[in-house]
Structure 1
Amino acid sequence: MGSTISQLFPPKSKFSVDDIPNLEGQVIIVTGGSSGIGKETVKALLQHNAKVYIAARNAKNTREAIEDLKAQTGKEAEFLQLDLADLQSVKRAAAEFSEKETQLNVLFNNGGVMGPPIDQLTAQNYDCQFGTNVLGHFYFTKLLLPTLIETASPGKPVRVINTASSAADFFGPSIDFNTLKDGPARKKWSPEKLYFQSKFGNVAFSNELNRRYADHGIMSVALNPGNLKSNLQRHLSGVHLFLVNLILYPTPKGALTQLWAGTTEVGATLGGKHLYPWARIGKNPSKDPVAEKELWIWLEEQVANI
């Protein structure tokens, strides 16, 4: 209960965007970077001289975001078309990036969806929330692993920052694989429970990624960015939306924790941890390495023939 209250009402942050070092020479991807905390993350990265790719689905909205960010920062982000709900699109996006760049210093797996209608599925008929939030990001990360490993150097790990949620605390200790594709088991669940599972999946994936690749120079960490005003709530309505709005903070605050993990010297040491708002180490909601390995194996199986 104490950790829930601490996340709902976090203490004042000791970290600010002014603490970000000069990122000149770094290449960074932010999924879902055209709006919400993703856009705030991109803004701060551009202000500190990183080369940033916004990986997002909607070309029109992303190009408008790039122009807006250019007006604010004087720097221009790059657009990488990525639909996390379509594994073929994920494959194309990773290939396009690899054609353009030979290094990747930080991957912010930030994009996501919350509470869509229960009948909404991904292009390959996975639950929309798990397919987008977990499977899409897993495949994107997997395809970029060679570039990440090549970029890493002794004492300077590359970073994979996985945006989860306090919702991860309400699920576990393992994934119910029967609910991840369309079928009777999935239809018995509410969109809220499916969202909780997807956010728990973000944490479990992040832990296993760090376990497998820390020795290759990859630091992976998951985090709760905080309860924030963004378009993530677009599928909510009525009393649910009213109650959620009572505990929401301004969107820029949501970028703080992932920027702390993705840019600072201490951030490089956070592999396998779970972070709370604002820029704090918290309790990890996923604690079972066996369950995390089972999820990884399942994810590998889903993308084996894409």
Structure 2
Amino acid sequence: MGSLFSFINQTYPPKSHWTANDMPDLTGKVVIVTGGNSGIGKETCKALLSKNAKVYMAARSKAKAEAAISQLKEETGKEAILLQLDLANLAAVKRAAEEFKKHETKLDVLFNNGGIMAPPIEVLTDDGYDVQFGTNVLGHFYFTRLLIPLLLAGARESPDKKARVVNTSSSGAMFHPHIDWDTLAEGPARTKKGTQGLYMQSKYGNVVFAQELARKYGNEGIVSTSLNPGNIKTDLQRNLQGLTSAMVNLILQPVEMGAVTQLWAGTSPEGVDFNGKYLIPWARIGPMPYGAEDPVVGQKLWDWLEEQVKAV
């Protein structure tokens, strides 16, 4: 019953008290937005550029990112920087982090925004993991982990002594409050769970990762949050079909609203106090998905993630 009430509250939120126009000037801030070439990520890049941030648009498709960068330049007069990033390939994640380090000595805000939803069940990452957990959780973990030194540098150089990592989850996280460890790679358990269950599991994983990051680095100046951006109409739903697609479309909100809560987390002055918080539409602190705060679960996930990337 609690999950249903929370879902309704987050699906039909009150009018936002905060908008992207309320962001402070971001001159001098270096920001990465994963999945920045479309949907919520693109709206996030647009808002950040309008406030003078130096924005790296991290995306898998060079052509799509270049088109998005060109469009945003026309709309804002500012130009984002392409950072090629394939979250479904751990070696590519490492190359992207190394490329970023060639150009920057600090990172102020990392928006772990990119993700995929409900692809065909047979699809795996290049490294053999379930493509949704591998992309949404493992890829973002590795990218974040490689950028920790630059985030710490960003915190040291910031007037408020904070850098921020904003992890985009979903309302689906509240409906799968656990991780089935035998479904994270190919096998009968994964197939049985189904692509929608695997999606919700990955979104729960985003929250658990954000919580563990908050525990490990909060005292060093990294503010880690996770959030439900709202039920937003984007390309994320492209793999949904039939009745599921029709039902989901009934509750979707305009893409512009999807960026509000994560921009609040990543840029607002009050956001420096959000470490370990879970945010909900629009720009509110909300109830954590059940069990995601458990440090035992967080450490188990962190250990599993570390094990997968140690040989990359």
After TM superposition, the score normalised by the length of structure 2 is: 0.97
Query: Contact (CA 8 Å) 1:165, 1:225: kept in 2 or not?
Result: yes
Q: Does 1:125 align with 2:128?
A: yes
**Cα shift readout 1:240-261 (whole Å, capped 9, x = no counterpart):** 1111110000000000000000
Query: Contact (CA 8 Å) 1:37, 1:254: kept in 2 or not?
Result: yes
Q: Does 1:233 align with 2:237?
A: yes
Corresponding residue for residue 180 of structure 2: 176
Query: Contact (CA 8 Å) 1:90, 1:139: kept in 2 or not?
Result: yes
**Cα shift readout 1:19-40 (whole Å, capped 9, x = no counterpart):** 0000000000000000000000
Q: Distance in 1 between matches of 2:254 and 2:269?
A: 26
2:166 to 150, 157, 161: 161
Q: Does 1:252 align with 2:256?
A: yes
Q: Percent identity?
A: 58
Query: Contact (CA 8 Å) 1:30, 1:54: kept in 2 or not?
Result: yes
Q: Distance in 1 between matches of 2:197 and 2:125?
A: 17
Structure 2, unpaired ranges of 5+: none
Q: Does 1:283 align with 2:296?
A: no
Q: Distance in 2 between matches of 1:57 and 1:155?
A: 33
Shift of 1:56: 0.4
| Aligned partner letter, 1:159 | R
Q: Distance in 2 between matches of 1:283 and 1:129?
A: 24
Shift of 1:287: 2.8
| Aligned partner letter, 1:168 | A
Corresponding residue for residue 45 of structure 1: 48
| Aligned partner letter, 2:277 | K
Query: Contact (CA 8 Å) 1:115, 1:192: kept in 2 or not?
Result: yes
Q: Does 1:6 align with 2:9?
A: yes
Corresponding residue for residue 189 of structure 1: 193
Counterpart of 1:162 in 2: which secondary structure?
strand
Deviating above 6 A after TM superposition, structure 1's stretches of 4 or more consecutive aligned residues are none
Counterpart of 1:152 in 2: which secondary structure?
helix
Structure 1, unpaired ranges of 5+: none
**Cα shift readout 1:120-156 (whole Å, capped 9, x = no counterpart):** 0000010000000000000000000011112213733
Q: Distance in 2 between matches of 1:241 and 1:47?
A: 34
Corresponding residue for residue 69 of structure 1: 72
Corresponding residue for residue 35 of structure 1: 38
Q: Distance in 2 between matches of 1:53 and 1:287?
A: 30
Counterpart of 1:33 in 2: which secondary structure?
coil
Counterpart of 1:103 in 2: which secondary structure?
coil
